[in-house]
């Protein structure tokens, strides 16, 4: 069975650990090879896997942005514990649901506007500069990967983006400033100027169809990579959470970096239950 060590603790399955140590050892001193130098074997293991990979996909969730001050969904005090998500069908069917959705949007906007990329985002940006096969597949809607310098065409947003809005019928794009002004003035809900369709933030809600092009690109990147690095996701929201499993089944090395256990820790080559910014920053050599 492939999985974590017999104690069920985080870390490499034994063969993978040995392999990564071997990779880490290449070109290093005998002491290094015996593992006598280096205060943090987990960081070395992660660094070795990154070094040994040619095409890395970094798959991110809300956890990578908590160090930027944006709460995640499922941690204590996270968004989940305060707001029940508004289902897409309710958004379409009910004016009151749309009003509540925009109310929340503008209540949380100052937090998002103030957020800046953290060490984790910077490390991911550095990984993206390693070669043409590298990509970020993100469930986040905050735009912080791009703000950290990852080119737009390397960021695949599975759940859309909350920094602008679109018409649900004709896909016309709308900026938020005029919508905000009208909504805060008298509760006016945005309607498409071109087709009178419902306008919504460009995010994917529960119950809403996944974006086909992004799903296809994410799948292609997942099948093409040799290292799949899952960062800050509880891996419970599907179909996004299926990508790490697909990568592993396709032969890529799978790393899970998350403060708490996930449901697929057992199939990963390396599991790190640690803080994202310092772990990824140290492994990649980015401050």
Binding residues for ligand NAD, rule: CB under 6 A, are 61-63, 65-67, 70, 72-75, 78-79, 139-142, 159, 232-234, 237, 258-260, 275-276
Closest CA to 215 of 199, 245, 238, 249: 238
Residue 246 phi, psi (nearest 5): -60, -45
Quick check: 258 and 66 in contact, CB under 8 A? Answer: no
- Give the DSSP letter string of 205-229: PTTSPPPHHHHHHHHHHHHH-SEEE
Find the binder of Zn ion among 14, 195, 216, 220 (CB under 5 A): 195
Residue 70 binding partner per list Zn ion, ligand NAD, none, with a CB distance cut-off of 5 to 8 Å that depends on partner kind: ligand NAD
Closest CA to 274 of 25, 8, 46: 46
Answer yes or no whether residue 194 interacts with Zn ion by CB under 5 A.
yes
Residue 233 binding partner per list Zn ion, ligand NAD, none, with a CB distance cut-off of 5 to 8 Å that depends on partner kind: ligand NAD
Nearest distance in Å: CB 278, ligand NAD:
9
61-to-132, 141, 198 alpha-carbon distances in Å: 23, 9, 28
Q: Which residue is nearest to ligand NAD (CB)?
A: 63
145 as an active site residue: the answer is no
Residue 194 binding partner per list ligand NAD, Zn ion, none, with a CB distance cut-off of 5 to 8 Å that depends on partner kind: Zn ion
C-alpha to C-alpha distance for 199 and 192, rounded to whole angstroms: 6
Nearest distance in Å: CB 211, Zn ion:
17
Q: Which residue in the list 32, 121, 145, 159 is annotated as catalytic?
A: 159
Residues that bind Zn ion (CB under 5 A): 167, 169-170, 172, 192, 194-195, 197
- Residues acting as catalytic residues: 159
């Amino acid at each position: 069975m492939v999985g974590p060590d017999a104690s069920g603790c985080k870390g490499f399955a034994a063969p993978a650990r040995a392999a990564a140590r071997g990779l880490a050892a290449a070109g290093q001193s005998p002491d290094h090879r015996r593992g006598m130098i280096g205060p943090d074997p987990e960081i070395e293991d992660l660094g070795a896997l990154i070094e040994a990979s040619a095409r890395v996909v970094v798959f991110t969730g809300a956890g990578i942005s908590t160090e930027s001050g944006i709460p995640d969904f499922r941690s204590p005090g996270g968004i989940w514990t305060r707001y029940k998500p508004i289902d897409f069908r309710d958004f379409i069917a009910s004016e009151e649901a749309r009003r509540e959705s925009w109310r929340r949007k503008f209540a949380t906007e100052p937090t998002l506007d103030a957020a800046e990329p953290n060490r984790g985002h910077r490390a991911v940006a550095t990984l993206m500069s390693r070669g043409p096969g590298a990509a970020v597949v993100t469930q986040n809607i905050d735009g912080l990967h791009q703000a950290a310098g990852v080119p737009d065409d390397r960021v695949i947003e599975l759940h859309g983006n909350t920094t602008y809005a679109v018409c649900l019928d004709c896909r016309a794009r709308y900026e938020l400033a005029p919508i905000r002004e009208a909504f805060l003035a008298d509760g006016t809900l945005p309607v498409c100027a071109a087709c009178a369709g419902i306008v919504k933030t460009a995010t994917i809600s529960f119950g809403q169809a996944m974006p086909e092009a992004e799903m296809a690109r994410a799948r292609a990147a997942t099948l093409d990579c040799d290292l799949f690095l899952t960062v800050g996701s509880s891996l419970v929201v599907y179909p996004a959470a299926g990508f790490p499993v697909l990568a592993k089944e396709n032969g890529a090395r799978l790393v899970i970096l998350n403060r708490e256990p996930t449901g697929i820790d057992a199939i990963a080559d390396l599991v790190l239950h640690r803080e994202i910014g310092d772990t990824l920053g140290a492994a990649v050599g980015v401050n």
